[in-house]
Structure 1
């Protein structure tokens, strides 16, 4: 069976406490702005409530062909999880597995994971004091060591920061506060996904012009 593609572009991490309105509405707005990957956190909720929330978020993503990833080893009746650096090892046998990493030692422990997040790239309001920040240069060094695609995470709020992460080699960025706290999640998501799409288009190989075949008598 073919494993699904690893997430890329702008990946949204949920935080219902930071959301300006209902969490499902915020996610739906981000999807309208171009987000196609969402990581469901909310680990303090009872499993039944979290599973019900997963159903609603999958519905919000479905029309755009998006994917919900669940933080923790329980995929909540889905097939994609994102795990902490602490474990479990080996990861559960699901279709898509990501893991949080912060340094070279944690990258060296990877096995069958499909992607990683590297954090924090910049200081973050969601986890104040967490770090020290990698900054783009540190991100670039770790991207070169990673055997799987990397999502940059931590303090990413502007198109300029998205550009810096992509130029450092990240396949995408994971964003929480910039969208969760936004008065207009659609507009913020569109600004961030738009710059990523532009960078991807610029980096795409251009087709080689076809050389006309000379015709006889010309």
Structure 2
């Protein structure tokens, strides 16, 4: 008789109240792939959290489910070691399985009600928005905990998605009833512009994933956000 594989031991997660407090304090959110080409996912995740990243989302469409779950097991452990949060994109079943702190969806993904049906009340849920109407809808959705606005600048991580510009960032700042993040083409040189437009929080990808020293890149972004 063949024995079943041992389940991945995911660390226990914080209650919702702690997650919401961490979200409110968060300033720097990183999206990364599984670093398959570099082969340095564990070291990279430690470096990003040490540099000041508050939330790390693993987003890698190339991974099969088992590979994604294994990578998320590593992310969950490292996030717990640093006392930070981690996020799952799009897949509510995987988010439930790995005990994600944060679940993020796009405009065409699960509705908030559908996500809550799968994940329950404890998980922090966020949604991407690309217009003022979408941002207002997200802000008014009682089931959503945060939203993202962008892409502020065109970015190869979202091919074909037109830039929304800084005007939408300024408009989102006027809504102001829940945490929100600016996203899209943001790096340390542009942080000042999004801050001036009213954003207190940003999501980045290449500014850290393509940095020669990810810890230093994260620290510079953090300092630019809170300085």
| Residue 215 of structure 2 corresponds to residue 157 of structure 1 | no
Mark the structure with the bigger radius of gyration: 1
Of residues 128, 133, 140 in structure 2, which corresponds to 1:105? Answer: 133
Runs ≥4 residues deviating over 3 A: 16-21
- Structure 1: distance between partners of 2:160 and 2:63: 25
- Structure 2: distance between partners of 1:52 and 1:45: 10
TM-score, scaled to structure 1: 0.80
Q: 1:3 to 1:64 in 2, by over 3 A?
A: closer
Task: State the shift of 1:21 in Å.
Answer: 4.8
Task: State the shift of 1:174 in Å.
Answer: 0.3
Higher helix proportion, which one?
2
Structure 2 counterparts to residues 122-133 of structure 1, below 5 A: 122-131=153-162, 133=163
Corresponding residue for residue 4 of structure 1: 19
- Structure 2: distance between partners of 1:125 and 1:38: 19
Corresponding residue for residue 56 of structure 2: 38
Aligned positions, number: 196
| Residue 59 of structure 2 corresponds to residue 59 of structure 1 | no
- Structure 2: distance between partners of 1:197 and 1:19: 32
- Structure 2: distance between partners of 1:3 and 1:83: 21
Corresponding residue for residue 15 of structure 1: 33
Task: State the shift of 1:181 in Å.
Answer: 1.0
Corresponding residue for residue 178 of structure 1: 207
Q: 1:103 to 1:33 in 2, by over 3 A?
A: same
Kindly indicate whether the alpha-carbon contact (under 8 Å) linking 1:70 and 1:80 is maintained by their aligned counterparts in 2: yes
Instruction: Give the stretch that moved more between structures: 102-111 or 11-20.
Output: 11-20
Contiguous gaps of at least 5 residues in structure 1: 199-218
TM-score, scaled to structure 2: 0.77
Of residues 80, 88, 99 in structure 1, which corresponds to 2:102? Answer: 80
Contiguous gaps of at least 5 residues in structure 2: 1-15
- Structure 2: distance between partners of 1:63 and 1:191: 22
Corresponding residue for residue 211 of structure 1: none
- Aligned-residue CA RMSD in angstroms? 2.2
Instruction: Give the stretch that moved more between structures: 175-184 or 74-83.
Output: 74-83
